[in-house]
């Protein structure tokens, strides 16, 4: 069955944009807005960080970070020997991360801010 336009508005006239273009443009803008909203909402979820790893002991830590795990503020290793305090350079691969250090604070025997350090 052939449909016949009933009014002048239903007819696409030369020089005027076609109605189907408006519909397609509206659908396209709606789809783009939906994709943008999804991207923004997923972006917030993706940027959340995972919980820091809790290692069983210093052997497990030193397999990953040979120099141990330190607070970000630590720049050198505090060593106490015979009641005398000295400072040494950090040795090995030291991971400076406050959250990771706090999760493994139990492995910092001397309390200098570096867990499982090599001195």
The average pLDDT across 54-67 equals 95
Where are the domains positioned within the chain? 17-46, 58-115
Tell me what pLDDT residue 113 has: 94
pLDDT, tens only, 84-108: 999 999 999 999 999 999 999 999 9
pLDDT, tens only, 71-84: 999 999 999 889 89
Tell me what pLDDT residue 49 has: 77
The average pLDDT across 28-54 equals 65
Q: How confident is the model at residue 8 (pLDDT cuts 50, 70, 90)?
A: low
Neighbours of 58 (CB within 10 A): 18
Tell me what pLDDT residue 23 has: 61
Look at residue 17 and tell me whether its pLDDT is greater than 90. Answer: no
């Amino acid at each position: 069955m052939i449909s016949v336009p009933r009014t002048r508005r239903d007819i696409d006239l030369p020089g005027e944009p076609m109605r189907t273009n408006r519909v397609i443009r509206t659908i396209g803008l709606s789809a783009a807005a939906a994709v943008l909203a999804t991207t923004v909402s997923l972006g917030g979820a993706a940027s959340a960080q995972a919980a820091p790893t809790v290692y069983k002991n210093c052997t497990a830590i030193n397999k990953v970070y040979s120099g141990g795990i330190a607070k970000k503020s630590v720049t050198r290793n505090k060593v106490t020997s015979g009641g005398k305090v000295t400072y040494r350079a950090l040795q090995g691969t030291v991971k400076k991360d406050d959250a990771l250090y706090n999760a493994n604070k139990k492995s910092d025997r001397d309390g200098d801010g570096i867990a499982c350090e090599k001195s």
